């Protein structure tokens, strides 16, 4: 979780070098640093700080069971209308959940499916 640490100095130096900075975060820790792109991947066990919802460029919700679709909708209601919405199956449940994710997206076309490409390619 990158926001466990204060990112001000690190991102400041990276920006001086001309870097663009993208992070994926649960949002459970306070925002710090100069971040260009934020993927918010909230966890039920540690909900995001309110400040991050409006800063998120992407919302990625991990789907482990059917209850997670309601959680996804609750989280989507808090982000800006320009935020891209993704659903991604928990890896161990992918065979069960991707058909359900597909059905959900067909009924809710503002959502997109996301996959863990590195898992399919056997990259640790």
CA 41 to chain CA centroid, nearest Å: 3
Query: Residue 118 has what pLDDT?
Result: 86
Tens of pLDDT along 50-65?
999 999 999 999 999 9
Of the pLDDT bands very low, low, confident and very high (cuts 50, 70, 90), residue 119 is confident
d(CA 78, CA 54): 7
CA 48 to chain CA centroid, nearest Å: 11
How far is the first Cα of the chain from the last one, in angstroms, to the nearest whole number?
18
d(CA 110, CA 15): 33
**DSSP structure class, residue 57:** S
Going from N- to C-terminal start, the domains of the chain cover 57-124
> Which among 59, 67, 108, 110 is positioned nearest to 88, based on CA atoms?
59
Tens of pLDDT along 5-50?
999 999 999 999 999 999 999 999 999 999 999 999 999 999 999 9
Of the pLDDT bands very low, low, confident and very high (cuts 50, 70, 90), residue 120 is confident
Q: In sequence order, which residues have a C-beta less than 8 Å from that of residue 107 and are 6 or more positions away?
A: none
């Amino acid at each position: 979780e990158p926001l466990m640490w204060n990112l001000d100095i690190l991102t400041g130096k990276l920006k001086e070098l001309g870097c663009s900075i993208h992070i994926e975060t649960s949002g459970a820790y306070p925002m710090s640093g100069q971040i260009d792109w934020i993927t918010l991947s909230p966890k039920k066990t540690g909900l995001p700080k309110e400040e991050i919802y409006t800063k998120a460029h992407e919302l990625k919700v991990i789907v482990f069971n059917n209850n997670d679709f309601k959680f996804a909708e609750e989280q989507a209601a808090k982000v800006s209308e320009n935020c891209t919405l993704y659903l991604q199956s928990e890896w161990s449940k992918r065979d069960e959940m991707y058909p359900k994710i597909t059905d959900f997206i067909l009924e809710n076309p503002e959502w997109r499916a996301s996959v863990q490409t590195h898992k399919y390619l056997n990259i640790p």
